[in-house]
Structure formats: C-alpha cells, structure tokens
C-alpha cells in the first residue's frame, strides 16, 4: 500500500485519489466538529476523543509501522505544539458561541493563508480561476457565519470573544495544514507519520479534561462521553488522516480548499441533527461554498 501511494504521488491517479480523500475528509470533519459542540462540554469531549486516539494509535505506532526518522520526530514535536494551540482555540470558541457561527469562521479564514503558504513553501501556484474560487469559498463561509450570527440569540460579549478565538483557530488551521503536509511528505512512510501524529498529538487534552472533571464532573454521563469519544477518534483518523494523505498525493492548496466544503456538511448537520435553523439565504451561501470548491478543482 505504501509503495503504491508513493508511486502515484504527483500523477493524475494521485490527483483523483487526493480529491476523493479531501472530500471524504470534509464530511468527516463536519461530523467531528459537531461531536465537540453536541451534548458534552467541548473540553471533555476533546479529551475523550484524544484518550481513544492514544488507545487506537499507540499500538499502531509502536508495533505496526516503521519507526520515524530523526527529522520526522522533530516535525512531530512541532505538530504537538501547533495542534495543542488549535484545539485550545476551538474549545474556547465553541464554549462561547454557536456551532454554526464559529465553525464557518474557523474554516473560512484558513484556505487563503494555506494557499499562500503552499505557494511559498511547496512552489504551488494557483490560476486566476482558482484564486477566484478561493475567494468565493472563503467569502461565502464568512457570510454564512454572519447570517448564522443574526439568527442566534446570543450574549454579544460572549459572541465577540468566541469570534476572536475562531479567527485564531482559522490561522492555526492554515499553519497546521502546511506543517503537516511538509511532515508527511518528508516521511519515508506516510503511515508512520500518521500513526505517530495521532498518538503524540493526543497526549495533551486528556490531562486538561481530567482536571476539568475534578471541578465539574461529567455532565451528560460517562458512558455517552466515552461512546462519542470513540466515534470522534475513528472520525479523526478519516478526517485528518484523509486530508494529510491528500497533501502527500497532490497539491496542498487544492486539498485544503476542497476540505473546507466541510462547512456545507456542518450546516446540514446543524440543521438536521442539532436542530439549528437553516433558511434560503444559508442554502444559497452553502451553494456558493460548493461552487468555489468546484472552481478551484476545474481551474487546476
């Protein structure tokens, strides 16, 4: 499997597989975000997810895949810092504002910075049509957040703080996308990078969650938290693993932009599962997000 994936990187077959992986990642990431904003406290939910990631990924990292090289280890240590910062900003944003407001902001501010970073680091260049697609997608995401904001009955102070954390999260999305893409590209075995990535970056939040449990207990029940955490860990492998493998096979910028169609899936989840309102204007903006992604894909 590893040899085949490496062999198709940069080929038309690799590009097609990367597109499929990025779209699969988008759907999975929307479900992943909804889990964190659902029944349980976002800090405890993230802690439960990370506990399961350690349980699932540890044996794979230690006993199945080849051991990482020194350079891979150094990149993984950097990933631990970047992803910890990202997880903290997301938890703080979800704690303060509605999921349908926060999620589009986090995801909408990242693509443009990611594309610029990929251009500088990986020498990727977008066509004018692709840049128009990035602008369409990001603009529609931010307008969706504004529309959702108008429909929510929220504390304005809490909303402002939530949006600040959401914008910070968006910048960290761009940073970790480029960082992780560099890491999985330089690793001789991409599955080594993935297994150790999920193992190491999941060691932090269980500690924070345990400290929080001592103060608040587990509202919603331990069983429900554990079940949702297991689901989240499995989804994380599909979501984060899928997009990282996509950046290994094809352009980082295109994979990142396609993945942000997760906002469309997130709105649908918020509508059908979380009971949040979706009207005609939101549907139009969701169509704009999808259209922007199509522009990026056909423009390449």
Domain ranges across the chain = 2-299
* The token pair that represents 4 in the structure block: 């085949």
pLDDT in tens, the chain (300 residues): 788 887 888 898 998 899 899 889 888 877 776 665 656 788 898 899 999 999 999 999 999 999 999 999 999 999 999 999 999 998 898 888 777 778 778 877 777 778 888 888 888 888 889 989 888 988 888 887 777 776 666 667 777 888 899 889 989 988 999 999 999 999 999 999 999 999 999 999 999 999 999 988 888 788 989 998 999 999 999 988 999 999 999 988 888 888 877 777 777 776 777 666 667 777 788 788 888 888 887 886
Q: Which of 300, 213, 268, 295 is nearest to 34 (CA)?
A: 268
Cα→Cα distances 178→36, 171, 175, Å = 24, 11, 6
Residues 30, 36, 38, 39, Cα dihedral to 10°:
150
Structure letter (DSSP) for residue 62:
I
**Predicted structure pTM score:** 0.84
Termini Cα distance of the chain? 27
Taking the C-alpha atoms of residue 186 and residue 212, their distance in angstroms, rounded to an integer, is: 37
Query: What is the C-alpha separation between 73 and 147, in angstroms, rounded?
Result: 43
DSSP-derived 3-state class of residue 39: coil
């Amino acid at each position: 499997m590893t040899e085949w994936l490496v062999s198709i990187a940069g080929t038309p077959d690799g590009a097609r597989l990367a597109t499929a992986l990025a779209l699969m990642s988008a759907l999975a990431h929307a479900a992943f975000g909804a889990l964190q904003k659902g029944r349980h406290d976002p800090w405890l939910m993230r802690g439960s997810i990370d506990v399961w990631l350690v349980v699932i990924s540890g044996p794979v990292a230690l006993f199945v895949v080849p051991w990482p090289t020194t350079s891979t280890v150094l990149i993984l240590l950097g990933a631990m810092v970047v992803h910890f910062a990202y997880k903290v900003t997301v938890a703080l944003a979800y704690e303060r504002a509605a999921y349908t407001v926060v999620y589009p902001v986090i995801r909408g501010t990242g693509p443009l910075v990611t594309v610029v970073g990929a251009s500088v680091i990986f020498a990727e260049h977008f066509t004018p049509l692709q840049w128009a697609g990035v602008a369409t997608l990001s603009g529609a995401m931010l307008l969706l957040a504004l529309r959702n904001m108008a429909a929510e009955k929220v504390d304005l102070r809490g909303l402002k703080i939530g949006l600040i954390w959401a914008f910070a999260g968006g910048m960290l999305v761009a940073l970790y996308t480029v960082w992780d893409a560099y890491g999985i590209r330089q690793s001789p075995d991409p599955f080594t990078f993935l297994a150790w990535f999920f193992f190491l970056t999941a060691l932090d939040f269980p500690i924070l969650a345990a400290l929080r449990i001592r103060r608040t207990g587990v509202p919603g029940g331990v069983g429900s938290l554990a079940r949702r955490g297991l689901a989240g860990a499995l989804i994380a492998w599909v979501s984060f693993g899928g997009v990282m493998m996509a950046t290994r096979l094809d352009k980082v910028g295109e994979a990142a932009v396609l993945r942000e169609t997760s906002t469309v899936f997130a709105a649908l989840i918020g509508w059908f599962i979380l009971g949040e309102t979706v009207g005609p204007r939101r549907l139009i903006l969701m169509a704009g997000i999808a259209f922007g992604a199509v522009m990026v894909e056909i423009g390449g």
